[in-house]
Amino acid sequence: MLLLAQLVKTAPQLFSPLKVGDLVEGKIIEKSSNCILVDLGRHGTGVVYRGELQNARDLVKAIEIGGVINGKVIEIDNEKGYTELSLTEAGRQKAWQEIDELKGKDEAIVVKPTGYNKGGLIVSIHGIGAFLPVSQLANDHYPKLGVGDKTEIASALQKLVGEEITVKVIDANQRNGKLIVSEKEAVEVSSRELVKNYNIDQIVEVIVSGVADFGIFVKFVDNPAVEGLIHVSELDHRIVESPKEIVKVDEVIKAKIVEIKDGKISLSLKALKEDPWQAGLEKYKEGEIVRGTVYMFNPFGAVVNLDNEIQGYVHVTDFGGADEMKKEISLQKEYQFVIDSIKPEEKRINLKLVKE
């Protein structure tokens, strides 16, 4: 009795009864077109019925009598005294267990997208459908396009279907079937190692690998595996509506590293350019009438190019509203303005339209 008690204490799994939902392993002892009987050892005999055989026909076809299979318990002690098993459910549960292990160990896995939608790529891990959002793509695969151009973004995603992509599981919930993966997370560790070779304020040669509304993606000439981003605000001392005005894809440029954080490098073109505002503040005077070309509209008014480097601003309230403003001034057209104020600390020249 003492030996039995000790055994129960040290190996409780040998005495615990089966429960619905348990995963079990057993040897096939009989196989027909209607069912498979499985030896479950101390748990008796398991059975897989015809419907399950159809669902898992590829697996069943590959295993003969004496072979070992895994099943998920869906009924205990049916009318024939068997434990009813599901092979497909077992496969799914085992797949989720392996996915949880991948997430727990922070391991990467290679996937091939099978489809896409406006938000990202459709992939599969161990037969379980997963989603790779656009925001979780690495720079190398991120659509280098305008944020608002959904058609072109979809076209860029379509090109990735069937390609091998290394990802990590960042969210796995078997209960609601949610499985999210990230390519960005998978490359982050190697990126952190690579960027150790660079320093803030270092000037480097880079190749423009893509253009987006918010900036440009670049690869380092001395190591193309290293990528960086130049934000649109770091392209020039003036406001830039489209980065395409400044650079083109595959162009080699020099840039200054301004930030290194979490394996990501941010660079600047502006930092290598002479600040035009030093001369500009001497060139323009308050009350002076100047000519300028309307460059762009924004919610606050209009940006006006006074020359190739200096811009001024006309506030929307000077016109009474945005619609009224666009009736009086048009993009790419030249008008006369009076310099209302100059704010050196803000590098800002405020203008008012000279109405004829």
Per-domain residue ranges of the chain: 19-92, 106-189, 198-272, 277-353
Considering only the C-alpha atoms of the chain, give the largest distance between any 2 of them, rounded to a whole number of Å.
109
d(CA 154, CA 158): 6
Q: Which two tokens stand for residue 64?
A: 């003969």
Hey, how many other C-beta atoms are within 10 angstroms of the C-beta on 67? 13
Mean pLDDT of the residues in the chain:
86
CATH number of 19-92: 2.40.50.140
Q: Which two tokens stand for residue 131?
A: 């989603």
The phi, psi pair for 4, rounded to 5°, reads: -65, -45
Instruction: State how far Cα 119 lies from the chain centre.
Output: 9
Per-residue pLDDT band for 86 (boundaries 50, 70, 90) equals confident
| Amino acid 4: pLDDT | 41
Least confident of 146-160, 168-182, 319-333: 146-160
Of 1.10.357.10, 1.10.10.10, 3.40.50.300, 2.40.50.140, which CATH number belongs to 277-353? 2.40.50.140
State percent of the chain over pLDDT 90: 43
> Strand 252-261 relative to strand 223-231: parallel, antiparallel, unpaired?
unpaired
In CATH terms, are 19-92 and 277-353 the same topology?
A: yes
Three-class secondary structure of residue 297 per DSSP: strand
Closest listed residue to residue 310, CA positions, set 292, 296, 334: 292
User: CB-based contacts of 17: which residues, under 8 Å, 6+ apart?
Assistant: none
Closest listed residue to residue 71, CA positions, set 81, 79, 82, 80: 82
State the CATH architecture for 106-189: Beta Barrel (2.40)
What angle (nearest 5°) sits at the alpha carbon of residue 246, between those of residues 297 and 326? Answer: 10
Mean pLDDT of the region 295-301? 93
Least confident of 133-142, 225-234, 298-307: 133-142
pTM value is 0.54
Least confident of 62-71, 250-259, 285-294: 62-71
State the CATH architecture for 198-272: Beta Barrel (2.40)
| Amino acid 8: pLDDT | 42
Q: Which has more pLDDT, 188 or 117?
A: 117
Percent helix, strand and coil across the chain, each to the nearest 5: 30, 40, 30
Residue owning tokens 């390609």: 163
